[in-house]
């Protein structure tokens, strides 16, 4: 089996390429993330992350009022949409809080 020799210069060149790739790629990614963070409006999520159900509320009314379409997915302790009562603690996730990777 023949071995190929790697010179010191080859290693330096490879290291430099990796550094540039990570440095430039990382800054590009962080710029996109900053742009994504700036686009999120606080008004998109009128309710806090944790919500206590009050008398007369349903999951549908909470979802509409709080802009939280993922109530059943975020709360595995709620087995049925009709299985809510006053005092029940729910976790709410607004669509703007859901992280979706940006396309390159």
Give the global pTM: 0.51
Q: What percent of the chain has pLDDT over 90?
A: 31
Average of per-residue pLDDT across 13-36 = 57
User: 50 near 91, Cβ under 8 Å?
Assistant: yes
- For residue 82, the SS3 value is coil
- CA 19 to chain CA centroid, nearest Å: 28
pLDDT at 97 over 60: no
User: 94 near 67, Cβ under 8 Å?
Assistant: yes
């Amino acid at each position: 089996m023949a071995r190929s020799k790697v010179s010191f210069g080859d290693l330096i060149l490879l290291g430099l390429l990796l550094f540039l790739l990570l440095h430039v790629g990382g800054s590009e990614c962080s710029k996109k993330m900053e742009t994504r963070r700036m686009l999120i409006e606080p008004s998109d999520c009128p309710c806090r992350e944790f919500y206590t159900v009050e008398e007369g509320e349903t999951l549908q009314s909470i979802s509409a009022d709080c802009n939280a379409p993922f109530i059943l997915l975020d709360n595995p302790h709620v087995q049925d949409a009709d299985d809510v009562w006053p005092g029940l603690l729910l976790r709410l996730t607004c669509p703007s809080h859901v992280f979706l990777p940006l396309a390159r």
